[in-house]
Amino acid sequence: MNQDFSALVKYISRHIQLTPEEEIYFCSLLKLTHVKKKQFIVQPGFVANYRSYVLKGAMRAYLVDSKGQEHTIAFAIEDWWISDYSSYINQAPATLIVEAIEDTILIQLDYNSEQLLMEVVPKFERFFRIITQRSFSFLQQRMLSNLSKSAEERYEEFVHKHPLIVQRVPQYALASYLGFSTQFLSKIRNGKTKKS
């Protein structure tokens, strides 16, 4: 196999141990995809057929409301996964747009291959359960943070936990993820600069 999936295999090995044969089989199901900046890999109304692991680059998932306002739901940089998971898991039309923020290289696993993988190598059920549980925990923490913390506290918390993302994502995307306007984000940053 001439494509290098070693980064993803290493990621998986943090959670489950694969035999050489299982590793070869798993890699045979994967697809390497190059995505240009601003290119969509998921669009509303179409089923999200892939679970995507970011090998290099940055992605974001967002919703556009009836007023045309964007609401960023998730970011993904190297060693993170992204999709419209509701669409992917239920094989139903997507509601999110998943877009490249930078030129990106993805390792993708399609839904049918994932189902087959879990039948042939049952330990992958454990792997997908672990990453699903972690995603659920992260989403709950984010929801609680949005309900209980001020905008400034949410920004400080995000900067502390995800400094690499702050440096790489557009300000409008970061502001929409945190639940406020780009102008308000500028005020927070300027306020922070004045305090320093």
* Rounded average pLDDT over 181-187: 87
User: Could you say which DSSP state residue 40 is in?
Assistant: E
CB 49 within 8 A of CB 111: yes
* Rounded average pLDDT over 156-164: 93
Q: Is the dihedral of CA 117, 122, 127, 128 positive or negative?
A: positive
How many helices (H) and strands (E) in the chain?
A: 9, 8
pLDDT at 195 over 70: no
Dump pLDDT digits (tens) for 113-157.
999 999 999 999 999 999 999 999 998 998 998 889 998 999 999
pLDDT at 2 over 60: no
Q: How confident is the model at residue 88 (pLDDT cuts 50, 70, 90)?
A: very high
pTM (whole model) above 0.85? yes
pLDDT at 192: 58
Which CA distances in Å does 31 have to 25, 26, 110, 187?
A: 13, 11, 9, 43
Domain-by-domain residue ranges, the chain?
A: 6-148
Looking at domain 6-148, its CATH class is mainly beta
